[in-house]
Amino acid sequence: MSVSTEDGIELTGVTKRFVTPTGSTMTAIRDVNLRVGAGRFCAVVGPTGCGKSTTLTLTAGLERASAGQVRVFGKPVDGITPNAGFVFQTDALMPWKSVLDNVALGPKFRGMATRDALAEARRWLGVVGLAGFEDHYPHQLSGGMRKRVSLAAALINKPRLLLMDEPFSALDVQTRAIMTNELLRLWEQTRPSVLFVTHDLEEAISMADLVVVMTAGPATVKAVYEIDLPRPRGAVQDIRFTPRFLELYRQIWESLREEVERTYALSAAATARRAAS
Ligand SMILES: Nc1ncnc2c1ncn2[C@@H]1O[C@H](COP(=O)(O)OP(=O)(O)OP(=O)(O)O)[C@@H](O)[C@H]1O
């Protein structure tokens, strides 16, 4: 696939500090520089607690950077990023609304007539394989089905930017594989720019154009890997056995492992300090 040079997501020297409950300041991410061209799929991996979600929230405009600049499609992020779809680990469906009404919410909010919004929602439920479940409520669906509804609810708005924070982590292995293939198929049709946070390096490599490895917290970008596996990827389960995939996996895991080990060492040292005091 050709490398897009059009602006998508651009973080320049971004630092985010939070005030902790004890009143001290902690730095979640520091001096993050990252560029994801329009229409590209970028996966972010890094040790637990390093600052991946923070990077996503800053791009979404849910938090403001303490220093540096976040730009999306050439414009500085100032408030909630327009034209963005979000899919998080826990789905944000409204339990009192039917599946159809949940999916129709975005278009209605944007001013589409109710009849048209419902027709469009029905079409999207078909796209994600949930035709026939329109009148169900979220609690009547499996975890995988709810994820499909969340995807439909995000994609119906045809976002130019899709921000996903471990969207499939709560699913069983088989459902996860199906959802991964589904997401790739839909992404290949509409090609939004994607930031996809995951703990699963296999998932990252099999889906993305770029894999960003972040350092132990406070996170900064350690390395960016171009994933030159062919597109369309097809079934991600199969691509994992190709020699190029294994080569990329080995290379990126080497880089990620150092950071994971550093995080464990830092955490063990902090525990020992607490025990000694
Ligand atoms: N609103 C907040 N207030 C204070 N500290 C915060 C806030 N949000 C995040 N943090 C801290 O910032 C650091 C990075 O958190 P973040 O959730 O971005 O990491 P992560 O890499 O996504 O974690 P994980 O892999 O465990 O999901 C953590 O130490 C966290 O406690």
For the stretch 218-227, pLDDT in tens is 899 999 999 9
Q: What is the DSSP letter of 1?
A: -
- Residues of the chain with pLDDT > 70: what percent? 98
Give the type of residue at 234: G
Q: How far is CA 200 from CA 66, 154, 170, in A?
A: 29, 22, 12
Which phi and psi (to 5°) does residue 256 adopt? -70, -40
At 54, phi and psi to the nearest 5? -60, -40
Residues 6+ apart with CB under 8 A from 34: 9, 10, 11, 42, 55, 212, 221, 224
Q: How far is the CA of 18 from the centre of ligand 1 (A)?
A: 9
Query: pLDDT digits over 33-79, tens only?
Result: 999 999 999 999 999 988 999 999 999 999 999 999 999 999 999 98
Say how far apart CA 148 and CA 130 lie, in whole Å. Answer: 8
Q: Which residue has the tokens 């996860």?
A: 176
Q: Give the pLDDT score at 1.
A: 40
Taking the centre of ligand 1 as the mean of its atom positions, its distance from the CA of residue 26, in whole angstroms, is 10
Q: Please work out whether the CB of residue 51 comes within 6 Å of at least one atom of ligand 1.
A: yes
Q: Is the CB of 206 under 6 A from ligand 1?
A: no
Cβ contacts of 193 within 8 Å, gap of 6 or more: 8, 9, 36, 37, 38, 39, 40, 41, 42, 160, 161, 162
Query: For 6-13, what is the mean pLDDT?
Result: 92
Answer whether 18 contacts ligand 1 (Cβ < 6 A): yes
CA–CA separation, 157 and 106 (whole Å):
6
Please give the Cα distance from 16 to 148 (Å, whole number): 32
- Quote the radius of gyration of the chain (alpha carbons, Å): 19
The span from the CA of 32 to the CA of 55, in Å, is: 9
C-beta separation of 107 from 121 below 8 A: yes
Q: Which amino acid does the sequence have at 45? A: V
Separation of 218 CA from ligand 1 center, angstroms?
9
Residues 103-145 pLDDT 10s: 999 999 889 999 999 999 999 898 888 999 999 999 999 888 8
Contact between 116 and 104 (Cβ < 8 Å): no
Q: How far is the CA of 137 from the centre of ligand 1 (A)?
A: 32
What was the ipTM of the complex prediction?
A: 0.96
Half-sphere exposure (Cβ direction) of 167: Cα atoms closer than 13 Å: 31
Per the CB < 8 A criterion, the answer to whether 118 and 104 are in contact is: yes
pLDDT exceeds cutoff 60 at 5: no
Q: Which of 36, 29, 72 is nearest to 194 (CA)?
A: 36
Any idea what DSSP says for residue 4? P
The overall average pLDDT reported for the chain is: 91
Ligand 1 atom 10 nearest Cα:
28
Query: Beta strands 210-214 and 41-45: pairing type?
Result: parallel
Whether ligand 1 lies within 6 angstroms of the CB of 20 is answered as: yes
Q: Which residues pair with 211 in a beta bridge?
A: 43, 225
Q: Is the CB of 143 under 6 A from ligand 1?
A: no
> What are the structure tokens assigned to 233, written together?
């990827």
Rounded Cα–Cα distance for residues 125 and 112 (Å): 18
Residue 222 phi, psi (nearest 5): -85, -45
Average pLDDT over residues 203-227: 95
